[in-house]
Structure 1
């Protein structure tokens, strides 16, 4: 379609000719020049809206079709762990142990037992430990990526072979059973670390240590009670104490410690079906609660850093935070199966989520670049999240050096509608929450100025 224009006085006549018709079809529009400027503006606005909607609703999580060398399909899995973005291990409900070397597309059988494998821990592509249970409890392990597997007997009985495995390096680790064991030779031998037959250990399902001395475990009994617990040690597991209030936590299904003070946990209250995040900024002395939106029990949690993290759970749910756990947004996964395990490969900027019915989801992570001292090596303005939003969104940015910083928001007419930052700031990773309450839906621009650095990004307020 071609456009031809002829001008008459202060009016413009637009002749739109369709060369594909048998004869030219002529339409005449008569409008003021000012109207034409408005029409151009509206065309640009609609184009940007369509562009943004297409970009924002692009699939973030890719489902990988899992193919097993035995030809089997499985209703659910019991544990999984990736060591690199290509190498990982998975065990389904039938007691087999599989390995992938192509990022989860094909899985080759490595071990077959009469019992069940639980709690796979892949420290790297060579060193892997797996809890194994049946009539007795064992730990199977490999130091060559699974070419050869060894095993160590832990004790008799069915109880609690799903307790956490924690390794600090290739030789030192902890195993939570009805009592606490430790190893100093990579799992060849396990010795009693704490012989107290404690509910801390019997009901522990998850755990995380920030160093050899300080760590947290959590769990509960969803059948016997509606509450769980978090326990803390400062002496490598020799002694434990309740972290926070002893009977007020949900059933804990995930713990991730960022440092000695900042700790995240996630769980659910089974009778109400409510999912909740616990966040402590004082090493577990006190905890704040953030309730998750939507229905479904959360089952695992992984934090990338102090700001960004993910939770997976029932009904195909993945929640994501980019503001330190204060708000959680449900992701689009295109599945409704139970998602029960997260493998976060921070060094390779990849995250995997395992689920029932041979479900494996993958997403790439956009990571910030840090120097050796932990500070940014450049200035950067990140895309706001969530986007589209209503009415609040978070803007993250990073500063390379100390200086005056300006962060402002503008509407489509270039008018300033919000001044978020207008002050001197030190180098580091920053964030600001913008509340667009009272403003109309549409496209807005936010502009960061720091020294000679300037960047502008677009966001959509959609009510």
Structure 2
């Protein structure tokens, strides 16, 4: 008789090895208004983070992915907006115009835009644009050395975004304006009577998203018409990734994994009643500036692995005939691989990764999913080479497959 060899893997869930919620890294006495990430090849993480604060607390920077922050020389002004172009960082201030630094914040210089409140920046066609209070949109053709006022010159512009040569301006109580020619002329879009807090453009499908004090609006034809995604939260910030929309609201983080059809909250780990003012992506993490509604001086920076938030993609909404877990591809992989699976009926779904000792090293999905076909892009940048196992559980279904990470 031939011997039968059984290999048994015992999966042990170790909470400390799983990063499944927002983690607070810093607290401030003033609200975080803006966050940007700037490439820095000389640093281990490859990026520098900058944030702006209210209360004349200025600009702070982090060189370790947002874990610790240090004050720059801009330390006595309220800063509402930040932008980066090459080695230059621009800061939009409250009633003191635009400043810039070319040495990481050691010194700052005021530009020709002075005595203005500046709420937002964007870049298009080699030009830099700034949205201001009462004076509309300014433009610079020489990297901020000099500025001129565009023909949109008598509105309060709270946010800016662009796609190609088209610039979008979100205004206070006058909705969204659009310039198809780099700011030469402007027209008001049909979204014309709302307070626009933030604007983002998805370059993959030309969708424009406008966050307002009454919800989130979408245009799939560059502003010619608009539809409402939801209207029960104020939307202060938006990040787009394929079909995933991440919004920062006065109720925390709301995410859609299916291009705005359905929405879920992802507030795990956030304090109290979170007002999420700003979002930024830094490397493999998403960084958030948060104010606790119930604590007037509770202003924080949080971070969370990006693949916990954005990793899942809806491939099809057709109802499959069974639950199924497919083999990851590529396999072996370095450092990322895609995992596809099918959900037959609306279920609480968990997709987790374990090492060869049975320790859980990542929880990729832990939420209710509608029927359909899904794909998760798993990034193992922070894991060592070796054999790993990924397991899908939903209702009574459970299946495990092996994958190999080779670095």
Name the one with the larger helix percent. Answer: 1
RMSD of equivalent CA atoms: 4.1
Q: Does residue 214 of structure 1 match 2:170?
A: no
Residue 118 (structure 2) aligns with? 162
Residue 120 (structure 1) aligns with? 82
Q: Normalising to structure 2: TM-score of the pair?
A: 0.66
Within a 5 Å distance, the mapping from 1:310-349 to structure 2 comes to 310-315=246-251, 317-331=252-266, 332-335=268-271, 336-345=273-282, 348-349=283-284
Paired with 1:361 and 1:82, the residues of 2 have a C-alpha distance of 15
- Residue 102 of structure 1: how far off its partner (Å): 1.6
Secondary structure at the aligned position of 1:218 is classed as: strand
Residue 152 (structure 1) aligns with? 111
Paired with 1:433 and 1:278, the residues of 2 have a C-alpha distance of 30
Instruction: Flag structure 2 segments of 5+ consecutive residues without an equivalent.
Output: 1-9, 40-44, 292-297, 326-337, 351-368, 375-389, 397-407
Secondary structure at the aligned position of 1:366 is classed as: helix
- Structure 1 residues 61 and 461 mapped into 2: Cα distance closer, same or farther (>3 Å)? farther
**Superposed CA offset, 1:309-347 (max 9, x none):** 2111224x10112111222210024322322011124xx
- Residue 51 of structure 1: how far off its partner (Å): 6.8
- Residue 354 of structure 1: how far off its partner (Å): 0.8
| Mapped contact 1:409–1:447 kept (Cα < 8 A) | no
- Residue 190 of structure 1: how far off its partner (Å): 0.9
Paired with 1:266 and 1:338, the residues of 2 have a C-alpha distance of 14
Count of residues in correspondence between the two structures: 322
Q: Does residue 138 of structure 1 match 2:97?
A: yes
| Mapped contact 1:408–1:446 kept (Cα < 8 A) | no
The counterpart of 1:83, out of the listed 28, 34, 38, is 38
Residue 183 (structure 2) aligns with? 237
Q: Normalising to structure 1: TM-score of the pair?
A: 0.59
| Mapped contact 1:280–1:288 kept (Cα < 8 A) | yes
Paired with 2:348 and 2:74, the residues of 1 have a C-alpha distance of 57
Secondary structure at the aligned position of 1:232 is classed as: strand
Residue 278 (structure 1) aligns with? 217
**Superposed CA offset, 1:11-60 (max 9, x none):** xxxxxxxxxxxxxxxxxxxxxxxxxxxxxxxxxxxx99x979x89x9623
- Residue 279 of structure 1: how far off its partner (Å): 1.6
Residue 345 (structure 2) aligns with? 436
The counterpart of 1:355, out of the listed 265, 286, 290, is 290
Paired with 2:157 and 2:342, the residues of 1 have a C-alpha distance of 37
Residue 189 (structure 1) aligns with? 146
- Residue 82 of structure 1: how far off its partner (Å): 2.4
Residue 377 (structure 1) aligns with? none
Paired with 1:442 and 1:322, the residues of 2 have a C-alpha distance of 14
| Mapped contact 2:238–2:279 kept (Cα < 8 A) | yes
The counterpart of 1:291, out of the listed 211, 217, 230, is 230
Residue 245 (structure 2) aligns with? 309
Paired with 1:79 and 1:255, the residues of 2 have a C-alpha distance of 14
